[in-house]
Amino acid sequence: MSTPPATLPAERWRPLAEAHREEVRAELADVVRRRDRAEKHPVDDFLFHYYNLRPSHLAQWHPGVGTAVEDDGTWPQPTYVVEVGAARLDEAHLLSRRRGTVETAARLLTAAAGKEPRFGCFGMHEWAMVYRLEDGQARHPYLPLRYPREELARIVEEVGCRCSHYDAFRFFTPPARPLNLLAPTRERQADLDQPGCLHVNMDLYKWAGKLWPAVSSSLLLETFRLARDIRVVDMRASAYDLTDWGYPAIPVETAAGRAEYVRLQRGFTARAEPLRAALITVVQRLGVAAPNPENS
């Protein structure tokens, strides 16, 4: 028989919830202001358009699977179940709606955690997304490019493309795809995802959002912060000129720029490791385990 979850009394969880709401509101005030004014932003637009959560979601407080809270009548049902005055996540309800997602998260998170990180891509995926495009065909038309298109193409061909993440590779231009050393597919994602990849580590926020509210709000916020910091580097290392936005370029077209990119990449890998482990613990607490590759 499983052990009942510990119960946080109201005098403990309410201050935690309020402090979390205020922390998120302060941190995302500029995001909300720009959204209300329909102003574009090269970092935050990606986080709130490509991923599904909104600032209001991040501001909500949830204790996560394995923790119950003293019920005050505000915990939404059927997401939560109330028993003997305590509210806890209804795990069976969550799995009835999202088991496939949880199983996919378990498979990809565990697969990436078991690999050695690689640091040889140098962020050229963003360059490959604008390679050989005609004038007016940029993915982000409001952002200027750092080089004329022919010079940009020469740099891509000289540095090369070593992208292993399908959700980056699928946005390569058709002429750029044959330049990549790999041909990632959705079916091969578990085989190719690795913990040195910036996009794999940004996707910890994606999986936290898909597992939420089984994921605690503090863990969700930490994965968001990691994704935001990674996206800054992703765009600084891109072919776009973001100096007007306060983001100096990481010139990966040079040896010094590539070394700086790898240094930052290693730092993100170290930050991501405990967050990935925490997400794996969440899926395990939900009773879902990744398949054993030896048995598949």
51: pLDDT strictly greater than 80 = yes
What tokens does 114 get? Answer: 């078991």
Query: Is the Cα torsion angle 192, 194, 197, 198 positive or negative in sign?
Result: positive
Query: Is the Cα torsion angle 46, 47, 52, 54 positive or negative in sign?
Result: negative
- Provide the β-strand partners of residue 145: 240
* pLDDT band at residue 5 under the 50/70/90 scheme: low
Reported as a single tens digit per residue, the pLDDT across 90-146 is 999 999 999 999 999 999 999 999 899 999 999 999 999 999 998 767 778 889 999
| Main-chain dihedrals φ then ψ at residue 90, nearest 5 degrees | -85, 95
DSSP classification of residue 226: H
Percent pLDDT > 90 in the chain is 86
296: pLDDT strictly greater than 80 = no
- Provide the β-strand partners of residue 88: 81
Q: Which residues contact 236 (CB under 8 A, 6 or more apart)?
A: 242, 247, 248, 249, 250
Reported as a single tens digit per residue, the pLDDT across 165-185 is 999 999 999 999 999 999 999
Is 275:220 a contact under the CB 8 Å cutoff? no
Total-model pTM: 0.93
In b/e form, how buried is each residue of 67-91, taking b as 16+ CB within 10 angstroms? bbbbbeeebeeeebbeeeebbbbeb
CA–CA separation, 259 and 251 (whole Å)? 10
Is 79:93 a contact under the CB 8 Å cutoff? yes
Helix-strand-coil split of the chain, %, nearest 5? 55, 5, 40
DSSP classification of residue 215: S
CA–CA separation, 47 and 42 (whole Å)? 9
What tokens does 258 get? Answer: 């590539």
Lowest mean pLDDT among 50-64, 67-81, 132-146: 132-146
* pLDDT band at residue 1 under the 50/70/90 scheme: very low
CA–CA separation, 270 and 252 (whole Å)? 21
Instruction: Identify each DSSP E strand in the chain by its residue range.
Output: 6-8, 67-70, 80-83, 86-89
Reported as a single tens digit per residue, the pLDDT across 187-237 is 999 999 999 999 999 999 999 999 999 999 999 999 999 999 999 999 999
Closest CA to 163 of 139, 140, 197: 197
Q: Which residue has the tokens 């505000």?
A: 74
Percent pLDDT > 70 in the chain is 96
